Amino acid sequence: MNSTELVPSGQRPPPAELAGILAADAPAGVIERATEVAKPLAALIDDRKLFVKIKGKRHVTIDGWTTLCAMLACTVREVVVTENDGEFTATVELVESQ
């Protein structure tokens, strides 16, 4: 279902699904399944040091995000990269692999 489609009153929207990994028919189910996926990913990010600390906060590196994509059968597509005084910002889209 596209986000612009309306669901008639009394009908439930179809289950949310991402690459067959995150599938649920209710918000609580999505949260539960996402937590199941996130726990081993977080452990891997910690173990392999796939993060950097910036101003005391941990930020996942591209290697960590690529690992997440592999787990979810997705890929990242670059939309735009901007540079401002030597700092680069990338905007990307998460695309389901075919």
Residue 80's beta-bridge partner residues? 91
Q: Element (H or E) spanning 41, and its range?
A: helix 27-48
CB atoms within 10 A of CB 69: 17
pLDDT given at position 1 = 45
Taking a C-beta distance cutoff of 8 angstroms, is the pair 71, 41 a contact?
A: yes
Rounded to the nearest integer, the mean pLDDT of the chain is 80
* pLDDT tens for each residue of 33-43: 888 888 998 99
Of 48, 70, 74, whose CA–CA distance to 61 is shortest? Answer: 48
pLDDT over 90 at 94, yes or no:
no
Evaluate if pTM is beyond 0.85.
Answer: no
